[in-house]
Amino acid sequence: MGEKDKAYVEIYDTTLRDGTQAEDVNLSVEDKIQVALKLDELGIDYIEGGWPGSNPKDVQFFREIRNYHLGWAKIAAFGSTHMAKYRAEEDPNLRALIEAQTPVITIFGKTWDVHVRDALRITLERNLELIRDSLAYLRPHAERLFYDAEHFFDGFKANSDYALATLKKAIEGGADCLVLCDTNGGTLPQEIAEIIKEVRSRLGKDISLGIHAHNDSDTAVANSLMAVSVGARHVQGTINGFGERCGNANLCSIIPGLVLKMGFKCKAGEPERLRRLTEVSRFVFEIANLPHNKYLPYVGRSAFAHKGGVHVSAVSRNPETYEHIRPELVGNSQRILISDLAGKSNVLYKARQFGISLSAEDPVVKEIVVRLKERENEGYQYEAAEASFELLMRRIVEGRKETFGFFDLISFRVLDVKRLEDERSLVEATVRLKVRGEEEHTAAVGNGPVNALDNAVRKALLAFYPELADMELEDYKVRVLAGEPGTAAKVRVLIQSKDGEDRWGTVGVSHDIIEASWQALVDAIIYKLLKSRRKRLEAA
């Protein structure tokens, strides 16, 4: 192993500070505590909890987090260099940082002469004093003191002598690490490398450097990895890349990149911690009350989802053919999607997953692929409706009837009556089914036609199949399919159902929205009944 293989890279998380500067990301004190505890479990080295000089919520966070024992991480408080109108010891922002009583303090200061003149409106010399004096004042109050050189790369390009002068002042002030920030996110990886190399050649190779990249050019992760490859040993970023504008560098990509691909070490990259990465990513989305981004590299639901038949055929033989890492290393898993791009391999994979016995040579495999493609062409989509696909396969392979003999439809009717514009319509469904040789005739109302139909079917079936009582329809989506214009168009209905153990998706397609809903509803019920029957047989 070379020197690089042994180096440790510090991971500094700013989800709770820079991450909350993202549009739509707002966290309460309780949320922040929960995220901090999760990041500690993951093995993050530093957790930036907020800016105590900014708002009472962040002050409260720093007060409350002291009541928790963190196994590994150290909490950092963030702020700026002191205001030009004060001396360091008079500045309320620096005082708030000390009062936060954190082992780590991070402050940012200006590097770019344009910012000094136009944003702060002070002289270049005065800014150098702000940097040195702020750090020197804070130094005795922090175990670790970090200096974020805001707009470092833009500043260096505009006036490298001045940019380096600001770093020298930070060293004089006692900073442990100089974190070079690509604040506007406009720098590309090769510039990051050139500039860091020049900084190291002009300030000395022993200087401790970090990187803080924003994603405005979609290169924040690449910039961070590049910075490490040329000598940075401290990386700042956020979980899921949350952050102002287009976000910060995504630690969920940086950590596996550093450890699995570049041979560096970090606590969060230890195998048993890295396996929790996907869970942490989901947790943070959940706490932020946002849907998980399935397309995220490494941790997204689609990160190892294979759709094309050629890919599925190859990954079934050797996953490395289309997977850059083993998904389990980051707590993710391989998925095979079913669509009109599928081939025999997709079908065989799903058969194994569903417990359907099928051999590759069986001509029925080809029949399923053909039927699948015909159905997708008619508008069905099975990616989010795998329960319907399982039923389709079982109908073909096991020669089952549409409803698997659980019941037969005699007829249904839905009435939607509206008399006055400002009055709610009254919806009622009537269903006639044959169940175990008996005719069931029920009616039910609902807050819409599909709800009324669902209520009426359950009413008819519940006495025969009591297990339906713990099944719920969780989500109902209708998509108008392109093809025919306006109200003549076909619709696709997707229903998501759940019980105490599972969730499953079913699909229906028709020109008639009630008919499409009926198909998806029937599949949802049949799937539940088959599942219960299987469980009973296994238990017997």
Ligand X SMILES: CC(=O)SCCNC(=O)CCNC(=O)[C@H](O)C(C)(C)COP(=O)(O)OP(=O)(O)OC[C@H]1O[C@@H](n2cnc3c(N)ncnc32)[C@H](O)[C@@H]1OP(=O)(O)O
How is 466-499 classified by DSSP, letter by letter? Answer: GGGGG-EEEEEEEEEPSSS-GGGS-EEEEEEEE-
Q: Contacting ligand X (CB under 6 A), which of 37, 70, 120, 415?
A: 120
Q: Please name the residues in contact with 480: beta carbons below 8 A apart, sequence gap of 6 or more.
A: 489, 490, 491
The binder of ligand X chosen from 61, 108, 264, 349 (CB under 6 A): 108
Residue 110 as a binder of ligand X (CB under 6 A): the answer is yes
State the minimum distance, in angstroms, from the CB of residue 216 to ligand PYR. 11
81 binds ligand X (CB under 6 A): yes
Q: Which residues bind ligand PYR (CB under 6 A)?
A: 18, 108, 148, 150, 181, 183, 212, 214
Nearer to ligand PYR, 212 or 492 (CB): 212
* Shortest separation between residue 147's beta carbon and ligand PYR, angstroms: 10
For residue 79, the minimal CB distance to ligand X (Å) is 8
Say whether residue 32 binds ligand X (CB under 6 A). Answer: no
109 binds ligand X (CB under 6 A): yes
Name the one range near ligand X by CB under 6 A: 108-116, 202-210, 276-284, 288-296: 108-116
**Residue 165 Cβ, how far from ligand PYR at the closest point, in Å?**
18
User: Is there binding between residue 462 and ligand X (CB under 6 A)?
Assistant: no
Interatomic CA distance for residues 192 and 180, integer angstroms:
10
Distance CA 2, CA 81 (A): 39
Q: Which does 193 bind (CB under 5 to 8 A by kind): ligand PYR, ligand X, none?
A: none
Give min distance, CB of 106 to ligand PYR, in A. 8
CB of 144 closer than 8 Å to CB of 176? yes
The residue range among 107-115, 227-235, 336-344, 403-411 that interacts with ligand X, by the rule CB under 6 A, is 107-115
Question: Checking DSSP bridges between strand 503-510 and strand 491-498, what pairing results, if any?
Answer: antiparallel
Distance CA 249, CA 448 (A): 45
Residue 80 lies near ligand X (rule: CB under 6 A): yes
Separation between Cα atoms, residue 465 and residue 8, nearest integer Å:
59
Does residue 172 contact residue 184 with C-beta atoms inside 8 Å?
no
CA distance 178 to 202: 14
Give, to the nearest 10 degrees, the angle between helix 160-173 and helix 189-203.
60
Site string for ligand X, 135-164 (x = CB under 6 A): ---------------x--------------
Residue 390, CB-side half-sphere exposure with 13 Å CA sphere: 21
CA distances 363 to 309, 367, 368, 386, 479, Å, are 17, 7, 9, 22, 34
| Least separation in angstroms between CB 246 and ligand PYR | 12
**Shortest gap between Cβ of 78 and ligand X (angstroms)?**
8
212 binds, among ligand X, ligand PYR, none (CB under 5 to 8 A by kind): ligand PYR
Distance of CA 119 to the CA centre of its chain: 35
Token readout for 387 is 């329960």
361-380 positions binding ligand X, by CB under 6 A:
none
Residue (165 or 260) nearer to ligand X, CB: 165
Nearest CA among 240, 248, 228, 134 for reference residue 185: 248
The residue ranges that bind ligand X (CB under 6 A) are 18, 21, 51, 53-55, 80-81, 83, 108-110, 119-120, 130, 150, 183
